[in-house]
A and B are shown apart, each in its own frame.
Chain A
Amino acid sequence: MIRIESVTKRYPDGTMAVDRLSLEIPDRSITVLVGPSGCGKTTTLRMINRMVEPTEGTILLDGADIQRQPVTTLRRSMGYVIQNAGLFQHRTVVDNIATVPRMLGWGRQRARERAAELMERVGLDTALAKRYPYQLSGGQQQRVGVARALAADPPVLLMDEPFSAVDPVVRKGLQDELLRIQEELGKTIVFVTHDIDEAVKLGTMVAVLREGGRLAQYAPPAELLSDPADAFVEDFLGADRGIRGLSFLSTTALELTTDPVIPPDATAERIGAADAAHLLVTDGEGRPLGWSEPRRLTAGDIRPDRLLPYGRPFVPGVDSLRVALDCAVLSPTGWAVAVDDAGRVRGVVSQQTIGDAIRTAHQDGRTAHQDGRAGDEKVLG
């Protein structure tokens, strides 16, 4: 565990970068430092590997003061990923990744084998091994940066706005990849960003910092969204924090109905029996085809091209209430379609029912994380 104890960084000109900050960063989880520019988040990160020395206070790594060991030893035990990747342009991809192992005295062959292994780990084609950084896209470069930081298998990974220089689509890919890698490797990651959405998506714990380097709130993302500590945090979270908080609510308990769902060979009786403004017609396998008003359907002659589109379906238990609500909002009928992994309809759910589920969830205070990131001990600084 990394424990930041009442750390202050004051520059000679009097600028306060970090002001008496205390944080406990739990092991094997992603802790995000987020805030507007000038809030001291990068300074805080750089104090952990002593790229910046604190004016006051101490930082403990597994109980030991980081000042006690040689700075190079400390840094080699921590992976470091920066914005724009900071690759060595005169070295090939494989040699970039092998940098720290080579510094630790590994043989060239072993270091390169390790590098190739890491390329696969971060989702890079090993055919790129002999390329130079200028021959890679921004996203690929950043993956190399992550692989290089992981090369010597350090327990800690420090990431300073690693994904902020790539376009949104690539960024989302990199974020998903990071979550996947983290699930496999379980590193202690400290992640700096100015993007609150990124913080909420990646963080097990999120520390919101404000100008002058003071801690505004330190909480799991769901708590941050549902219960901001003050007006600054609320403002920083943005206008739609309620909607975004739905990302942390599960759809497992959502009540689905199969009443308005009919097969392609439904009888006139079945069509007439359904008590709904719209019916969802499936194909023979149970996959959705589209919506229709019952009176427009003729038994035995259901034509898929005359149905209303069913929009995007969601997978209960996998997708969050936010996705389910989005599906319902986008559906022409106001009903969201729930499917299983194979795309077969499990039922449909109305906006009304989703709204009820949201109210119930808020009342219960249940904030089940949707993707297994829950369960980490809540640690307050």
Chain B
Amino acid sequence: MNIFDFAHAFFGDSANWQGYDGIPQRFLEHLQYSLLALAVAAAIGLPVGLLTGHTGRGGNALAFIANAARALPSFGLLVLVVLLIGFGLLPVMIPLVVLAVPPILVTTYEAVRTVDPSPVDAARGMGMPESRILFQVEVPVALPLILSGLRSAAIQIVSTATIAAYVSLGGLGRYIIDGLYQRDYEKVVGGATLVAFLALVTLVLFWAAGRFTVSPGVRRR
């Protein structure tokens, strides 16, 4: 049997589409974990990145911390957190957020910092307040890069959220972990396929977000 047969068998089995272990349920759970983690990571990474990028200060320290965080293995961190605080949603969120903050923060910082200084100078010289300079002059131009940071964070979260299943939570990781444990390769392939599918959907969504939010003057077409 090859991988396509596994996938075909998994998705063809109507039992896999129903109930608490059904595909819609697991997909939804996975989506929930991912969105929550992305929202928390963005809530940390975006403001810090925007502020440091605008002022140009603290960038080196940030890059150092972010790279250190990147070096942490998510699974190891999960085990550590579970040992410290026990099971639940929080120990899953911590490694996902730690994983997602660096790409968001570092790209946002770089995106804002590298905006052409002359429109910023012009804006300041015409009496624009700093907050307005950031949100109306720098961010619109930095947006494509900021979105790309969010996108790589989102993709990493989607693929890594499978670890939630290790600590008895749901999500698409259930299929992979249970499948490996039960030697049910249909399940493993099915779960992996669904994760890959969600990652692709994420890519498409970010592409669409870019189309709608980035000015044609910045996209240059």
Chain A interface residues toward B at CB < 8 A = 46, 49, 51, 71-76, 79-80, 82-92, 99-100, 103, 132-134, 145, 148-149, 158
Contacts and interface: CB of A to CB of B under 8 A. Distances in A.
B216 A132 contact: yes
A153 to B, nearest CB: 13
Nearest to A84: B118
Contacts of B140: 88, 90
B167 interface: no
A91 B127 contact: no
A71 B130 CA distance: 12
A103 B128 contact: yes
11 contacts: A74-B127, A75-B125, A82-B118, A82-B125, A86-B116, A86-B118, A86-B121, A87-B122, A88-B123, A100-B127, A158-B125
Contact of A73 (B118, B121, B127): B127
B128 A82 contact: no
Contacts of A89: 116, 119, 141, 215, 217-218
Contact of B220 (A72, A75, A134): A134
A85 B141 CA distance: 16
A74 B214 CA distance: 32
A295 B204 CA distance: 87
Interface string B99-115: 00000000000000000
Contact of A88 (B119, B129, B214): B119
Interface in B122-146: 122-129, 132, 136-137, 140-141
Contacts of B121: 51, 82, 86
A145 B122 contact: yes
Contacts, number: 80
Contacts of A92: 217
Contacts of B132: 103
Nearest to B119: A86
A76 B126 CA distance: 5
Given A71-B127, A89-B218, A103-B127, 15 more contacts: A46-B125, A51-B124, A75-B124, A75-B126, A75-B127, A76-B127, A84-B118, A88-B141, A89-B119, A89-B215, A90-B217, A91-B217, A103-B126, A103-B132, A132-B217
B125 A91 contact: no
Nearest to A81: B122
* Minimum-distance CB pairs A-B, first 8: A132-B217, A86-B122, A75-B127, A80-B125, A90-B215, A86-B118, A76-B127, A90-B140
A88 B128 CA distance: 13
Most buried by A among B127, B132, B141, B215: B127
Given A72-B127, A73-B127, A82 B122 contact: yes
Contacts of B127: 71-76, 100, 103
Nearest to A83: B118
Given A76-B127, A80-B125, A91 B118 contact: no
Specify which of A71, A89, A103 lies most central, judged by the most chain B CB atoms within 10 Å of its CB: A89
A267 B35 CA distance: 100
Nearest to B125: A80
Contacts of A103: 126-128, 132
Contacts of B124: 51, 75
A35 B190 CA distance: 73
Contacts of B218: 89-90
A86 B217 CA distance: 14
A294 B121 CA distance: 66
B25 to A, nearest CB: 42
Nearest to B215: A90
Contact of A80 (B120, B126, B220): B126
A49 B125 contact: yes
B126 A99 contact: yes
A49 B124 CA distance: 10
Interface in B150-193: none
Interface in B20-77: none
Contacts of B126: 75-76, 79-80, 99-100, 103, 148-149
A132 B141 CA distance: 13
Contact of B125 (A51, A84, A88, A90): A51
Contacts of A72: 127-129
B139 to A, nearest CB: 9
A206 to B, nearest CB: 23
Nearest to B143: A90
A51 B119 CA distance: 14
A145 B122 CA distance: 9
Nearest to A72: B127
A15 B9 CA distance: 76
Among B122, B136, B140, B215, find the residue whose CB has the most chain A CB atoms closer than 10 A.
Answer: B122
A41 to B, nearest CB: 16
A82 B119 CA distance: 9
